Amino acid sequence: MKKITCWSILNTAILTLVLLFVNASAKGQDNAKLVASFPDNVNKIVSASCTPCHTDKGGTMSKSKLNFSVWDKYSPEKQNEKVKKMYSELDKGKMPPKAARQKRPDLIPTAEQVEIIKKWSETYSANK
């Protein structure tokens, strides 16, 4: 029978922590890459508040409305439409939806973040 030592337990714990850290870092990088064409301040908001649902990994309904995984495949006109709609939904308090707000309050953007999205949506529309 194999003898379990403190060293083997410690090595297993360290390996587990390293793997968890690498996995979490990779997930954060995936989200950042999804919206890399956005300004950094917008990218941070979208990555934190929107991409958990609005990517290929999200639910059918949310990704059918807006899918950041395929953002670069949208035409410039469609991107412009999506940006305007994104701000409109945030401004009305419809995004994130009520159920998501209750389960994940961390997804709710602050008033300052909504203002950042507003300003960006105005300039985005003007530049397209």
Closest C-alpha among 66, 55, 75, 70 to residue 94? 66
- The percent of residues in the chain predicted with pLDDT above 70, rounded, is 69
pTM listed for this prediction: 0.69
- Res 60 pLDDT > 70: yes
Residue 58, φ and ψ in degrees, nearest 5: -80, -175
How far is CA 11 from its chain centroid? Answer: 33
For residue 33, pLDDT over 80 is answered with no
Tens-digit pLDDT profile for residues 84-119: 999 999 999 999 999 999 999 999 999 999 999 999
Residue length, the chain?
A: 128
Domain extents in the chain: 35-127
Dist CA 91 CA 100 (whole Å) = 16
